[in-house]
Amino acid sequence: MLLLMSMAVATAQAQSTRELLTAELAAGEATIWYLGHAGWAVKTREHLLIFDYWESSAPRSTRSLSNGYVNPAEIADQDVYVFVTHSHGDHYDPTVLQWRQAVSSITYVFGWGAGPDSEHVYMVQPRDTRQLGDLVVSTVNHDFDRIPEVAFLVAVDDLVIYHSGDHGTVTDAPNPTFVDNIDYLASRGGQIDVAFISTFGQIGGGTINNGDRYSIEKLRPRVMFPMHHGGNEDLYERFAREVRREDVKTAVRFATRPGDRFRYEAGRAERR
């Protein structure tokens, strides 16, 4: 009986997600799903953007954005852009390449030379900027772990979205490359609407260090989501409390589990 009830709930959630994916959005609005760790899906007016997807474990029910998993059948009718910042296993799951079997309109954007497929976009040049359809995608580069990595800045449908990947600092003294990259992004002008930032912090990610603070105060996103603590989502709330306590000027929203959904509109993001 419990199994049947669980299956019914999963089916209802999947149906609701399909309705959300086809619902009309205005320019500057978005629906956002947390997909675990550093993974996010952002539905804008015309596109579905997926960042740093990784399956840390098999799903317990039907795959759906509503439980933090990508089901290719669920997104088959979307114009999908898949962004991968670097090759670490907690940011790049090769299963993303299987989605193109079901999704007719899908573009893969890699922050390194991930392979020989000429249909993919490889943003390997320093501080690269590409026009991909009606998206403008910019990067900053770093190799803090001795592998090529980028952070993405995406302008689309009257939104500007920043995804840091692993571009952050685990110490209280940001290194010069990190600072220079953040300064460069800030100098490009324009308001960042939504920023997904890896918050390494000093105590397991639940605190705000000077690197986190520098990113927030220089980039000044309207809404910031902490990430990079899949399985320890309680750290996101701790981080949000720390930001409020230290009066850092940004609105922080946080996920509590994969599949959490937020609506961004009029410069605000609220859990739904």
- The helix (H) or strand (E) run that includes residue 224 is strand 223-227
Residue 6 above 60 pLDDT? no
Residue with tokens 């500057």: 28
Asked whether 151 and 85 are in contact (CB, 8 A), the reply is yes
What fold characterizes domain 27-264? Metallo-beta-lactamase; Chain A (3.60.15)
> In this structure, what token pair is assigned to residue 72?
């290719």
- Measure the CA–CA gap between 16 and 26, rounded to whole angstroms: 19
- Among 28, 123, 41, 46, CA closest to 82: 41
Query: Is residue 206 within 8 Å of 243, Cβ to Cβ?
Result: no
Q: Report whether pLDDT(8) > 50.
A: no
User: What are the pLDDT digits (tens) for 14-52?
Assistant: 668 999 999 999 999 999 999 999 999 999 999 999 999
The pLDDT of residue 7 is above 50: no
Q: Is residue 147 predicted with pLDDT exceeding 50?
A: yes
Domain ranges of the chain: 27-264
Mean pLDDT of 118-123: 96
